[in-house]
Structure 1
Amino acid sequence: MIMSARLFVVTVALAITGLSAPAHANNSRYAAFVVDENTGVVLHSRRSDAERYPASLTKMMTLYMLFEALEAGEIGLNDPIRVSANASNASPSRLGLSAGDTISAENAIRALVVKSANDVAVAVGERLGGGESRFGALMTTRAAELGLTNTTFRNASGLPNSRQTTTARDMARLAIALHRDFPQYFDYFNEESFTWNGRTYHNHNSLVGRVRGVDGLKTGYIRASGFNVVVSAERGDHRLITVIMGGPSAAARDAHAEELIEAAFATLEQRQDTRLFAALSSPRINPVRQQDLIARDVAALHLSEPTEMGSANPPPALQVVLADEDEMRVEPLAPARLDTPSRLPRTEPSLIRGAWSIQVGAYNTADAAHERLAEVAIFSGALDTAQPAARAVTVSGDRLWRARFESLTEHEARLACRELSARDHPCFAVAPGR
């Protein structure tokens, strides 16, 4: 599980060019998360634990439950799934099944992945759970067992329900579980089209078949969520899971996902001698700048909403702005306990440093980390009273040393990163407890 290992976090610098910029943008639904499935290294995290609506990403859990039933022998790929009147009345996107129709389990899988058919999702939920509401409860229980601790399901489709919520991090966990537990079925996510009753439907995930290495997983859309996508991509020894939630359109969401994928793979390819860099460069921009500009949200104004609910239609007219936001904010924690409380005068509590720190690199020896600390210390006055430290951490079996300046206030940490970044020295501020 992603949270079961100690993770080295690398910030992603990104930009989307050539898009119009309205004067005002509202992007409160946005969240993003990128992780290397094979190593557990988190490459980008943006509001990844904030509550969001999954929309048709819900169908990944419906598929997980269906795959489990197949493996348990409770249903076969060729077995028919009967469509009830309730299922046939599901809101679009749907396959157009009528009450009394049947669809094989295998075609149901394809309809869920490619067409994101809500009528099929309801039928699957009723078949496996005896009713969609009960199936939602079973989904939630199984999700918790998989580590999706911030997710609640109320239906099998992802159609609007105010109590059906998740997070970007949990959706990444689910994607990893699907690939890990059911590799024999994973190719269904890589199918670009699906034909039913003489009509061919094309995968809503435009990255499949277009972006190198992408082999799934799922898109989703309802008005309350914006445009969501979970993407799996494999190149060489690395498999990335990328989650985008709250995109203003399918086109903007997909462009943003592609940016993150390319940037993450570029950084992974640049790693040499087991070194993890403290900053990540997008292929199309200069190295990381100040902390508040590291991650930029994609937002839009006055976009016409598509009528189809549950999954993304072809994109509406695109009107996008890049809006600056605070990077990876967390709730304030109690100040961390100092390793050596006596190192500061007890009679001057105002001098006790903050619990923030900055990271300027991660290296395969402590000496290399200390050398880096000495090299950059002179470039920011905010570091005059900071405590340099090489902190050992194990990442996927590799012993690394994080080069950090500790005992800073938040203001000092952000100021130091601005000053270092202005001189092209990678840096990111580390909140208390991270």
Structure 2
Amino acid sequence: MIKAARLLILSASLALAGLSTPALADNSRYAAFVVEENTGVVLHSRRSEAERYPASLTKMMTLYMLFSALEAGDIGLNDQIRVSANAANASPSRLGLRAGDTITAENAIRALVVKSANDVAIAVGERLGGGESRFGELMTTRAAELGLTSTQFRNASGLPNSRQTTTARDMARLAIALHRDFPQYFDYFNETSFTWDGRTYRNHNTLVGRVPGVDGLKTGYIRASGFNVVVSAERGDHRLVTVIMGGPSAAARDAHAEELIEAAFATLEQREDTRLFAALSSPRINPVRQQDLIARDVAALHLNEPTEMGSANQPPPLQVVLADEDDMRVAPLAPARDPIAATQSRSEPSLIHGAWAVQVGAYNTADAAHDRLAEVAIFSGALLEAQPAARAVTISGDRLWRARFEALTEDQARLACRDLSARDHPCFAVAPGR
């Protein structure tokens, strides 16, 4: 039975804001980000651009550099990496290597993934960069090339350094790059244990092998960062990367990561059901006809001043953010109803006298209007306080629903349209009473 679920603006049916326990939400170090790797759809974002300390998430970049060297032939999996006195004196967590010891590149990979060994990370940095400081510079340069625009590396291990900073979004980008560029090595992240010198170490990422679909990547902790984790997970055609930073404990971090993973997969499944239901049950409108309706609706407003318009040949792929703001409160979904009846009886918020609005399209169902609002809401910070609504209107005998963000000031409305137009999303600012 296909679920008659609908994507709601900034919630997409799951109240992820409620998933953040007070210990996480009230923690100034907390940040989270969930993205579908295959499509780039952002499913959850909270303080994802805020500066954070990566701690041992740094080792994902160290591994990226090691994988690159393996591919270039600069080092082989069986080649020995020598341990310096500097590496041997690293703070825990470490493998316990002594100055003059060697470890193969392949065992170094396992030690970094499973044990998060700082002595091994330093040894790798010295082997590939000629010194850990120089290796940090190389890491930062390569990270920028990968799109990690807010990340600086100063060492290979993630040990405390006030200038070694990143963001949750950048760590997600790095995780995606590791899987995309080095699928042949990605299985190392899925290993649950590593044996060295007669001792077996368990993977710090306890989600691997326990949560269905989880196949890596990395945890991290220093006192300044709190408990961090980057998790990759795949189910069916969907592949997620989930980042949690600043957890109060490893257990709380892992529980929260699991909540976000389950919620995100459920939302993606629901979105597929919604699309299939719409394809079977709802009247369709082609992109050209849709743009005609938008143009007609603009003309019907009889605006006496220039409007701010963007242009797009067709709507972009669906993008949804689940619970982006700390103070967001999402109401639970009502029981599923007949979709046509729901479109006809949907209750919209009351108009606020004297407020401006932003219109992003006109559609032949209220659900389509709300879906459009969900698509574009993430592209302008000016819409954070806006009130989404689908307003019914009859134009030339056609019943349409205007997709609008309301309860804005004039400056907010015009700024939102500038932001949306810059991304080729149709938009115009609507003065009060229009």
State the TM bucket, normalised to the shorter chain: 0.5 to 0.7
Name the Cα RMSD after superposition: 4.0
Does residue 1:83 correspond to 2:56, yes or no? no
Matching residue of 2:15:
13
1:378 CA drift (Å):
3.8
- Give, in whole Å, the separation in 2 of the partners of 1:160 and 1:388: 46
What is the identity, as a one-letter code, of the residue corresponding to 2:132?
E
Instruction: Give percent identity, aligned residues only.
Output: 74
Alignment of 1:155-166 (within 5 A): 155-166=155-166
Q: What secondary structure does 2:159 align onto?
A: coil
Q: TM-score, normalised by structure 1?
A: 0.67
Cα separation, partners in 2 of 1:409 and 1:144, compared to 1, 3 Å: closer
Matching residue of 2:303:
343
Matching residue of 1:380:
350
- Give, in whole Å, the separation in 1 of the partners of 2:47 and 2:355: 31
Cα separation, partners in 2 of 1:375 and 1:145, compared to 1, 3 Å: farther
Q: Residues 391 and 401 of structure 1 are in contact (CA less than 8 Å); yes or no, is this contact kept in structure 2?
A: no
- Give, in whole Å, the separation in 1 of the partners of 2:183 and 2:270: 29
Cα separation, partners in 2 of 1:116 and 1:372, compared to 1, 3 Å: same
Matching residue of 1:40:
40
1:344 CA drift (Å):
6.6
Matching residue of 2:386:
413
1:275 CA drift (Å):
3.5
Q: Residues 93 and 117 of structure 1 are in contact (CA less than 8 Å); yes or no, is this contact kept in structure 2?
A: yes
Q: Deviations over 1:33-88 (max 9, x none)?
A: 00000111000111111111100000000000000000111111011000000000
Any unmatched runs of 5+ in structure 1?
A: 1-7, 278-338, 347-351, 354-361, 364-368, 393-399, 418-426
1:343 CA drift (Å):
3.1
1:403 CA drift (Å):
3.7
Cα separation, partners in 2 of 1:383 and 1:180, compared to 1, 3 Å: farther
What is the identity, as a one-letter code, of the residue corresponding to 2:15?
A
Cα separation, partners in 2 of 1:389 and 1:414, compared to 1, 3 Å: closer
Cα separation, partners in 2 of 1:391 and 1:150, compared to 1, 3 Å: farther
Alignment of 1:163-178 (within 5 A): 163-178=163-178
Matching residue of 1:402:
372
Q: Deviations over 1:125-159 (max 9, x none)?
A: 00000000000000000000111111100000000
Q: Residues 373 and 388 of structure 2 are in contact (CA less than 8 Å); yes or no, is this contact kept in structure 1?
A: no
The structure with more radius of gyration: 2
What is the identity, as a one-letter code, of the residue corresponding to 1:270?
Q
Q: What secondary structure does 1:343 align onto?
A: coil
What is the identity, as a one-letter code, of the residue corresponding to 2:350?
S
1:372 CA drift (Å):
8.3
Matching residue of 2:232:
232
Cα separation, partners in 2 of 1:409 and 1:98, compared to 1, 3 Å: closer
- Give, in whole Å, the separation in 2 of the partners of 1:415 and 1:156: 46
Q: Residues 383 and 416 of structure 1 are in contact (CA less than 8 Å); yes or no, is this contact kept in structure 2?
A: no
1:271 CA drift (Å):
1.9
- Give, in whole Å, the separation in 2 of the partners of 1:258 and 1:408: 28
Cα separation, partners in 2 of 1:344 and 1:217, compared to 1, 3 Å: farther
Q: Deviations over 1:258-298 (max 9, x none)?
A: 00000000011112367499xxxxxxxxxxxxxxxxxxxxx
Q: Deviations over 1:310-366 (max 9, x none)?
A: xxxxxxxxxxxxxxxxxxxxxxxxxxxxx99983779xxxxx99xxxxxxxx79xxx
Q: What secondary structure does 1:381 align onto?
A: coil
Q: Deviations over 1:179-201 (max 9, x none)?
A: 00000000000000000001010
Aligned residues: 329
Matching residue of 1:29:
29
1:256 CA drift (Å):
0.5
- Give, in whole Å, the separation in 1 of the partners of 2:11 and 2:125: 39
The structure where helix makes up a greater share of residues is 2
- Give, in whole Å, the separation in 1 of the partners of 2:225 and 2:59: 15
- Give, in whole Å, the separation in 2 of the partners of 1:374 and 1:344: 32
- Give, in whole Å, the separation in 1 of the partners of 2:406 and 2:276: 14
Does residue 1:118 correspond to 2:118, yes or no? yes
Cα separation, partners in 2 of 1:161 and 1:429, compared to 1, 3 Å: farther
Matching residue of 2:255:
255
1:170 CA drift (Å):
0.5
Q: Residues 9 and 44 of structure 1 are in contact (CA less than 8 Å); yes or no, is this contact kept in structure 2?
A: no
Any unmatched runs of 5+ in structure 2?
A: 1-8, 278-297, 309-317, 320-338, 363-369, 391-404, 421-434
1:408 CA drift (Å):
12
Q: Residues 370 and 390 of structure 1 are in contact (CA less than 8 Å); yes or no, is this contact kept in structure 2?
A: no
Q: TM-score, normalised by structure 2?
A: 0.67
